[in-house]
């Protein structure tokens, strides 16, 4: 048992003089710290050696004062230079371990060489020179121990190789001063070794703690990266989200600006998506969005040579950032490919849906000089596409820029407009198709701006919607229209247009109801016209508003029928009294068989559902005769009268009575 303990202790002692190979992190840390301090160790050796050699140059042989110190100094300089190079090299763990072990064992011959040279030089000096040798060896070994602290095994080897012979040698001289120096050096070296063990233990603990900290930081970084990924990912489609899109836009714009190349921004909107949600539910709508996003992403990933970043901005709106110096033709080609994929059928359970998409592009530097302005230009291109070229791709141009400037002027002037003086009302007759008696008037707004002159409703109505003035404008115009209608015969109705913001407002249509009640005009003489676009804006809220107006006794007309997305579904789900066929079908009813068939079908639908059918845009007798034969109930258009002021309505009705009376007298005659 004692023999076993002795062997264990000897093995443990031997491990103190070896570089450990079981901790790669500790070994690398030792190498990094050691490589910074080893040049200092060799500087101490060289400077002290030169000083001692200089002292003995005239009293000792040349080989001891010149040759041996030169060899030792050159060797130290070469090793110092080698270690200085290690700071700039990337080494593997195996290389580091091999270098440390080589350095560890090189301390034995180097330490023995300097010690032997010191002892060989000692006999040639006087008392002062001999004291310098003792001082040289003591100071040098202490400096070396300090410099080798990160490589404990090397520090211990130097201590044994230098200090043990040092103490024995100077004790053996019998000189009391030198014996005291030897004992003092032994005690100091013992203290230094104790400090060495404590420092090495703390250094190893620090490396271990650093490793744990790095692991914790890595885990934290991984969690941060995942949170960043989720924060920049759309949860439904798993596409980059709005936040990521604008980050990509900013980065791409900065890069394009620096390199002086083009970059494009595109905004894509799915045409016909809202009715899918209304008709089939949000679960089907979500699946359509996922599938549409997948198709568009595949087009973007396969589009070259430009790089296309694709993201979902929200709802059924997506964003594109096209890098790689794209041309207009590249953008049109990209838009065409996306449109072709989006228009393919969507077969989801029993619901077979179809979509199209409108895309607006803007190109830097021709369209804008900042990322924000470029996005706004793309947004306006999309707006233009949805209004005039639905399902197509539009690239921002100088013409659209002029429109924006005009739109901005209109918006600014509209904010300061006096509705009571600048807004005029005109009225267009709605005529019974068979008797040709006027059944009512549709009220139309005209804006006479003091700066712009006459502004078209097609311009100022959308502007009022954009800047949030459409509801106060509607209320002001409705109050004036109702006041005018009170002067008409009791059988004449008033038809008034409502926008999406009027019927879908969060606070409902209470202000309109209040205006109707204050006007004194019976609700049954009022028809409210609502477009399909307004209905699809928020169908549920629009349905509630329409039901409230219907309960008061007002009539409800669906305007511009046939130009929306899901007309038949709205006909079935809304309490309608009239459907107005859009003028685009009436214009070529006698030239285009398709228009003729559409109007015939719509008139038949209205008859089956007991809903009145109103045809807009009638300008010729031939159109009137065709519409009569097809079963349209009411006619509206320039054939009977252009829109007129309220003051002219009395004369118009009087002339109509005279005209129809004369026609009746002729029939009797």
First-to-last C-alpha distance (Å) of the chain? 147
Question: Residue 659 has which token pair?
Answer: 């005209």
Q: How many H helices and E strands in the chain?
A: 27, 17
Q: Is the peptide bond before 498 cis (omega within 30 degrees of 0)?
A: no
Position 1 confidence tier, pLDDT thresholds 50, 70, 90? very low
Task: Label residue 669 by pLDDT band (50, 70, 90).
Answer: very low
- Lowest average pLDDT, out of 166-170, 290-294, 396-400, 494-498, goes to 166-170
- Specify the 3-state DSSP secondary structure of 109: helix
Q: What is the arithmetic mean of pLDDT over 523-529?
A: 94
% of the chain with per-residue pLDDT over 70: 86
What average pLDDT does the segment 208-226 reach?
Answer: 61
What's the mean pLDDT in 427-441?
Answer: 93
Asked if 398 and 305 touch (Cβ cutoff 8 Å), the reply is no
Reported as a pLDDT band with limits 50, 70 and 90, residue 668 is very low
What is the separation of C-alpha 532 from the centre of its chain, rounded to a whole number of angstroms? 33
Give the Cα separation of 378 and 400 in Å (integer): 10
pLDDT at 88: 64
The residue behind tokens 């002729």 is 666
* pLDDT of 525 higher than 80: yes
Q: What does the alpha-carbon distance between residue 666 and residue 656 come to, in Å, rounded to a whole number?
A: 15
Beta strands 493-498; 438-449: pairing state: parallel
Average pLDDT over every residue of 322-338:
90
Query: How large is the average pLDDT for residues 298-323?
Result: 87
Which residue is associated with the tokens 């744990």? 212
DSSP string for residues in 369-394: SSHHHHHHHHHHHHHHHHHHSTTSEE
Active site residues: 316
The answer, yes or no, to whether residue 494 has pLDDT greater than 90, is yes
Cα angle for residues 563, 504, 520 (degrees, 5° grid)? 100
pLDDT digits (tens, 9 = 90+) for 138-196: 777 777 777 777 677 777 777 777 778 877 887 887 788 777 877 887 787 777 778 77
Q: With contact defined as beta carbons under 8 Å apart, do 548 and 508 qualify? A: yes
Q: What angle do CA 316, 321, 324 make, to 5 degrees?
A: 155
Q: Give the pLDDT band (50/70/90) at residue 445.
A: very high
Alpha-carbon distance of 409 to 266, in angstroms, equals: 26
pLDDT at 513: 92
Contact 338, 357 (CB under 8 A): yes
Return the structure tokens found at 430: 């709605």
The pLDDT of residue 157 is: 78
Pairing relation of β-strands 263-271 and 356-364?
antiparallel
CA-nearest of 442, 477, 473 to 460 is 473
The percentage of the chain sitting over the pLDDT mark of 90, rounded to a whole number, equals: 19
CB 493 within 8 A of CB 440: yes
Six-digit token string for 534 = 């307004």
Inform me whether the pLDDT recorded for 475 exceeds 80.
yes
What does DSSP say about strands 423-432 and 393-395: parallel, antiparallel, or unpaired?
unpaired
pLDDT-derived band at 87, boundaries 50, 70, 90: low
Do 567 and 533 contact (CB within 8 A), yes or no?
no
Q: How far is it, in rounded angstroms, from Cα 500 to Cα 659?
A: 40
Q: Looking at beta carbons, which pairs linking 646-652 to residues 24 or more positions away fall under 8 Å? A: 646/425, 646/427, 646/484, 646/487, 649/427, 649/441, 649/484, 649/488, 650/487, 652/429, 652/438
How far apart are alpha carbons 414 and 465 in whole angstroms?
A: 11
- 601's CB contacts (< 8 A; 6+ apart) are none
Q: How many residues does the chain have?
A: 669
Rounded to an integer, what distance in angstroms lies between the CA atom of residue 544 and that of residue 527? 17
Alpha-carbon span 110 to 120, nearest angstrom? 15
Token pair 């359970």: residue: 349
**pLDDT value, residue 278:** 65
| pLDDT over 90 (residue 648) | yes
- Least Cα distance to 320 among 252, 236, 399 occurs for 252
Q: How far apart are CA 620 and CA 617, in angstroms?
A: 9
How far apart, in whole angstroms, are the C-alpha atoms of residue 375 and residue 364? Answer: 10
Mean predicted lDDT score pLDDT of the chain: 81
pLDDT of residue 113: 79
Is residue 5 within 8 Å of residue 11, measured between CB atoms? no
For residue 561, pLDDT over 90 is answered with no
Interacting residues of 203 by C-beta distance below 8 A, sequence separation 6+: 29, 30, 33, 149, 150
Least reliable range by pLDDT among 76-85, 259-268, 410-419? 76-85
Residue 523 pLDDT exceeds 50: yes
Q: What is the DSSP letter of 488?
A: S
Mean predicted confidence (pLDDT) in 346-370: 78
Q: What distance in Å separates the CA atoms of residue 24 and residue 117, rounded to the nearest whole number? A: 37
For 109-146, how does the pLDDT look when each residue is reduced to its tens digit (9 = 90+)?
Answer: 877 877 888 778 888 878 787 777 778 777 777 777 77
Beta-carbon contacts of 311 under 8 Å, excluding residues fewer than 6 positions away, are: 234, 239, 240, 241, 242, 244, 245, 248, 318, 319
The residues, any chain, with a CB within 8 Å of residue 560's CB and separated by 6 or more, are 531, 532, 533, 580, 582
Integer CA distances (angstroms), 136 to 121, 187, 608, in order: 12, 17, 119
- Using 50, 70 and 90 to split pLDDT, how confident is the model at 271? confident
- Give the tokens for residue 413: 């002037």
Band of pLDDT at residue 413, cut at 50, 70 and 90: confident
- Is it the case that residue 59 has pLDDT exceeding 90? no
CA-to-CA dists, residue 246 to 186, 316, 369, 467, angstroms: 71, 17, 16, 24
Separation between Cα atoms, residue 79 and residue 70, nearest integer Å? 14
Q: What is the pLDDT of residue 156?
A: 76
């Amino acid at each position: 048992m004692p023999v076993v303990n002795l062997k264990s202790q000897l093995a443990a002692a031997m491990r103190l003089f070896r570089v450990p190979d079981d901790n790669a992190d500790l070994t690398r840390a030792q190498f990094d710290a050691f490589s910074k301090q080893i040049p200092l160790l060799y500087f101490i050796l060289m400077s002290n050696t030169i000083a001692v050699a200089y002292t003995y140059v005239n009293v000792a042989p040349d080989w001891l004062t010149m040759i041996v110190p030169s060899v030792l100094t050159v060797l130290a300089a070469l090793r110092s230079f080698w270690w200085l190079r290690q700071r700039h090299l990337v080494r593997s763990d195996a290389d580091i371990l091999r270098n440390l072990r080589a350095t560890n064992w090189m301390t034995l011959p180097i330490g023995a060489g300097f010690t032997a040279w010191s002892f060989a030089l000692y006999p040639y000096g006087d008392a002062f020179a001999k004291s310098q040798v003792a001082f040289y060896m003591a100071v040098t070994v202490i400096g070396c121990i300090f410099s080798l602290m990160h490589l404990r095994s090397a520090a211990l080897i130097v201590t044994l190789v230098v200090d043990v012979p040092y103490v024995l040698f100077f004790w053996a001289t019998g000189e009391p001063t030198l014996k005291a120096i030897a004992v003092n050096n032994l005690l100091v070296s013992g203290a230094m070794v104790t400090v060495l063990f404590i420092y090495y233990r703390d250094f190893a603990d620090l490396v271990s703690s650093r490793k744990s900290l790095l692991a914790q930081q890595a885990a934290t970084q991984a969690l941060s990266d995942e949170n960043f990924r989720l924060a920049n990912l759309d949860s439904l489609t798993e596409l980059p989200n709005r936040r990521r899109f604008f980050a990509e836009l900013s980065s791409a714009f900065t890069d394009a600006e620096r390199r002086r190349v083009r970059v494009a921004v595109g905004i894509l909107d799915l045409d016909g998506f809202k009715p899918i949600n209304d008709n089939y539910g949000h679960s089907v709508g979500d699946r359509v969005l996922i599938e549409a996003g997948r198709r568009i992403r595949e087009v973007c990933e396969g589009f070259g040579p430009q790089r296309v970043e694709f993201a979902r901005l929200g709802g059924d709106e997506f964003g594109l950032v096209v890098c790689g110096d794209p041309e207009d033709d590249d953008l049109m080609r990209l838009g065409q490919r996306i449109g072709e994929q989006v228009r393919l059928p969507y077969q989801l359970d029993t619901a077979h849906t179809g979509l199209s998409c409108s895309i607006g592009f803007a190109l830097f530097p021709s369209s804008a000089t900042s990322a924000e302005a470029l996005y706004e230009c793309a947004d306006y291109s999309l707006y233009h596409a949805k209004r005039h070229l639905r399902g197509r791709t539009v690239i921002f141009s100088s013409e659209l820029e002029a429109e924006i400037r005009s739109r901005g002027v209109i918006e600014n002037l509209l904010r300061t407009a006096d509705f009571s003086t600048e807004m005029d009302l005109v009225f267009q007759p709605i005529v019974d198709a068979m008797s040709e008696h006027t059944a009512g008037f549709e009220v139309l707004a005209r804006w006479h701006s003091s700066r712009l002159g006459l502004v078209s409703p097609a311009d100022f109505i959308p502007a009022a919607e954009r800047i949030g003035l459409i509801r106060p404008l509607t209320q002001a115009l409705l109050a004036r229209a109702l006041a005018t209608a009170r002067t008409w015969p009791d059988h004449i109705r008033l038809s008034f247009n409502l926008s999406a913001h009027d019927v879908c407002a969060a606070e409902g249509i209470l202000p309109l109801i209040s205006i109707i009640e204050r006007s004194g005009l019976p609700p049954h003489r009022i028809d409210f016209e609502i477009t399909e676009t307004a209905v699809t804006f928020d169908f549920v809220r629009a349905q509630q508003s329409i039901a409230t107006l219907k309960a008061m006794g007002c009539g409800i007309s669906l305007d511009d029928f046939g130009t929306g997305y899901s007309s038949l579904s709205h006909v079935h789900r809304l309490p309608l009294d009239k459907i107005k066929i859009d003028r685009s079908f009436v214009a070529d009813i006698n030239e285009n068989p398709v228009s003729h068939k559409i109007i015939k079908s719509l008139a038949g639908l209205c008859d089956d559902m007991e809903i009145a059918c109103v045809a807009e845009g009638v300008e010729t007798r031939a159109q009137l005769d065709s519409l009569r034969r097809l079963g349209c109930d009411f006619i509206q258009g320039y054939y009977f009268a252009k829109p007129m002021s309220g003051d002219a309505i009395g004369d118009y009705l009087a002339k109509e009575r005279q005209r129809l009376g004369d026609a009746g007298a002729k029939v009797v005659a």
